[in-house]
Structure 1
Amino acid sequence: MQELKESALSDPAPKKAPIRRHRTLFLSDLHLGAIGARADLVLRFLEQNRADTYMLVGDILDAGVPFSLGRATACDAVIEHLRRRHAEGAKLIYLIGNHDPEPSLVPNGRRLPVEACDEVVHVAADGRRYLVVHGHHQDRAFIRSHLLTRIGTYLESLARLVCAAVVPTEDCRARVWGGKIDKAFAAVNTALHFGRGHEHRLVELARQRDADGVICGHYHMAGIHDRHGLLYANCGDWVTSMTCLTEDYNGRLHLVDGRALSISGAGLLTEAQVVHA
C-alpha cells in the first residue's frame, strides 16, 4: 500500500469557496444538540461540499443532552440539509453510535429518512472494500458502559455551561476557555484509549469481514494510516477537531480540516491513496 503523505495547511482565503463535489463524505460525531457541537460549521461545510453519498458514521445526534432553544435552530438546519440532499437523489447511510438516541424515539422533524444500521461495507470507486462502523463496540468493556458515556456527556456539558456563565464574551469563551476544555477532554479521551488498542481491534474486524480497511468515528482522534496492515481511517469529530473523510471519484480517501476546506478549499491534512498491488 502506498506510503501516506503529510500536507501542510495553508491560510484560509477570505473569498467564498466554490461548491466542491465528492463521491462520498464520511462524517461522524456531530453530536447535534450537545453544548459543544458546532452545527454552524457543519452546515457551512455541507453547503459548500456536496456528495453522491453521505456516510454518517455515528453520534450524529446526542441523546444525553436535549436540544435547547439556543441550539435547536442550527442543529435542525443540518438535519434538514441532509433530508433535502436525500430528496435530491443523494444516498444517506446512517450508522448508529453510542450517543445516538434510539431511532424510534427521535421526533419526526429530526429523523433522517433512512434506517440506522450497525455496520456497512463501502465499495470505493477503485473497487476497494471498507468496513464502516462507529467503533464503540470495540471499546474495552468498562469504557462501553452506558453509564460512563452519560457521565462523560454531562461533565462536559457542565464544564461548558460554567464557562458560558463566568466568561463574559463569546469570543473569549471560544478562543481561550473553549480551547482549554477541548484540550482537557481530549487528554482524558487519549488516556482512556492509551496504546490505541482499538485500532488493532477494528483492523482485525475488517480482516474478518474480508475488507481492505476500516473507517470509523467515535474516538475523536482523526487519523488515516496503514500501520496495522490494512487501512485504518478515523473521521474525527465536529466538537474539537472539525475533520471528516472524503472519497474522490478515483477512490482516494482524504482526511480534511472541515473549517479550512469550507472556507478556502485548502485543508488537506493527510492523503491516503489506495492503489492496487
Structure 2
Amino acid sequence: MSRLSFRSVFISDVHLGYAGCKARYLLDFLRTLRCERLYLVGDIVDFENMAKRPYWHASHAAVIRELLAIAALGTRVVYIPGNHDAALRRFAGMRVAGVEISLDAVHVGTDGRRYRVSHGDEYDRHRDAPRWLLALGDVLQDVVCASNRRANALLRLLGLGYRPLSILLKMRIGAARRFIADFERRVAAQAGADGFDGHICGHIHYANMHDHAGALYINDGDWVEHCTGLVEHHDGSFELLHWSDRRLSLARSGTAAEPWPLPAAA
C-alpha cells in the first residue's frame, strides 16, 4: 500500500479511553502516512475520563499498537502530555518503547523557523475556575459530544458521511467563539514575545491556522469532534487535514484557505 509521505505530523486530543474517541478514523490516518517526526500533542490517553467512567475499546488499543509500530520503524515520536494525561508529565525526559516524553518541544521547519509545541492547557484561563464550574463544563462537553455521536449515527443510516456537528453547534454560541479567539491571540502573542515564529498546540478541540502579529498560530484539532491532524510537507508548508469518511484539506500555510466546516459567523 502506498503511503503519504510527510516531514512531520502533529495530532492531539485523541482521548483514548473516552467513548467519543474516533479511533477508527485515526487508525486509517496513521496507517496511510509515513513521516520523519510524529508529535503527540497531549490528551492522547484520557486517564481523567477513565478514572470517572472506565471505557476501553479494541480500536483504542489498536491506536496504541500503531503508534508504537511507527516509533519502531524509525520515526521520531514525541509525546507531550496534556491535562487529561497529565500523569505522564512525571516521566518527562524519559523514552518509553521508543517514544520520547517531553513537557514541550521546539520544532524547526525546513526554513529554520522555530515553533513552540505544547498541549496548550497552560494558556487556558479557566484552569483556576471553581471546581463546580469545571465539572459543569465537563458535563456540557459530554452532552455535546454524545449529541454529535447520535446525529452522525443517523447520518450513516442515511448513507451520508461524518460531519463535526458539535463544532458547528459550539461556533454558534458567542461565548465559545470569544473563548477560542481569546485563546488563539494569547498563544500567538506569547510565542512572538518569546522569540518563536509560531506555536503548534491542541487542547481546545478547534483546528485552525492563521498569522497573528507575525506569529503563526496552528491548532491541530482533535479526534473526538473535528477529526483533524496537522502535517508538515517536505517543502516546509503546513496543512490541516480533516480525516473521516471523506478527507479534506482545511487550510495550508501561505494560502487563504478556511477551516471546514464552520458557519460564516465563526
TM over 0.5, yes or no? yes
Partners of 2:2 and 2:114 in 1: CA distance: 30
Tell whether 2:203 aligns with 1:218: yes
Residue 168 to residue 202, structure 1, CA distance change in 2 (3 Å): closer
> Displacement of 1:187 after TM fit?
5.3
Contact 1:243 / 1:257 at 8 angstroms: preserved in 2? yes
Paired positions, count = 250
Q: Which has the higher contact order (CA 8 A, sep 6+)?
A: 1
Q: Which AA in structure 2 matches 1:270?
A: A
Residue 44 of structure 1 corresponds to 28
Mean Cα deviation higher: 167-176 or 178-187: 167-176
Instruction: Map Cα deviations across residues 44-98 of structure 1 (whole Å, 9 max, x no partner).
Output: 1100112111011111111232298974311111111111111111101111111
Question: 1:140-179, aligned counterparts within 5 Å?
Answer: 140-142=125-127, 151-157=136-142, 171=156
Write out per-residue CA displacement over residues 145-201 of structure 1, whole angstroms, 9 at most, x where no aligned residue: 676555544554467669989x9979459979x966564456569627436122222
Aligned to 1:58: 42
Matched, 1:22 2:6: yes
3-state SS in 2 of match to 1:60: coil
Letter in 1 for 2:213: H
Partner of 1:33: 17
Sort the Cα spacing of 1:94 and 1:19 in 2 relative to 1 into closer, same or farther, 3 A: same
- Counterpart in the other structure of 1:267: 248
- 2: CA distance between counterparts of 1:190 and 1:174? 34
Give the aligned residue type for 2:47.
A
1:245 aligns with 2:230: yes
Measure the CA separation in 2 of the matches of 1:184 and 1:118: 32
Q: Distance in 2 between matches of 1:103 and 1:149?
A: 22
Q: Offset at 1:22?
A: 0.6
Aligned counterpart, 1:134 = 119
Aligned to 1:7: none
TM-aligned CA deviation for residue 267 of structure 1: 1.9
State how far apart, in whole Å, the 1-side matches of 2:44 and 2:131 are. Answer: 17
State whether residues 89 and 102 of structure 2, in contact with CA within 8 Å, keep that contact through their aligned partners in structure 1: no
Conserved? CA contact 1:56–1:93, under 8 Å: yes
Mapped to 2, the partners of 1:202 and 1:145 lie a distance apart of 23
Q: Measured at CA, do residues 187 and 163 of structure 1 come closer, stay the same or move farther in structure 2, by a change above 3 Å?
A: closer
Cα displacement string for residues 117-145 of structure 1 (whole angstroms, at most 9, x for unaligned residues): 22211011221111111111111145666
User: Could you tell me which amino acid in structure 2 is paired with residue 271 of structure 1?
Assistant: R
In structure 2, relative to structure 1, the CA distance for the partners of 1:182 and 1:40 (3 Å cut) is same
The letter for the 1-side match of 2:229 is: C
Report what 1:6 is aligned to: none
8 Å CA contact retained: 1:35, 1:157: no
| Residue identity opposite 1:217 in structure 2 | G
Rounded to whole Å, the distance in 1 between the matches of 2:147 and 2:251 is: 36
Q: Say whether the 8 Å CA contact 1:200–1:228 is kept in structure 2.
A: no
Give the distance between the partners of 1:214 and 1:104, measured in 2 at CA: 20
Give the deviation of 1:207 after TM superposition.
2.1
- DSSP 3-state at the match of 1:218: coil
Stretches of structure 2 lacking an aligned partner (at least 5 in a row): 256-266
**TM-score normalised over the length of structure 1:** 0.74
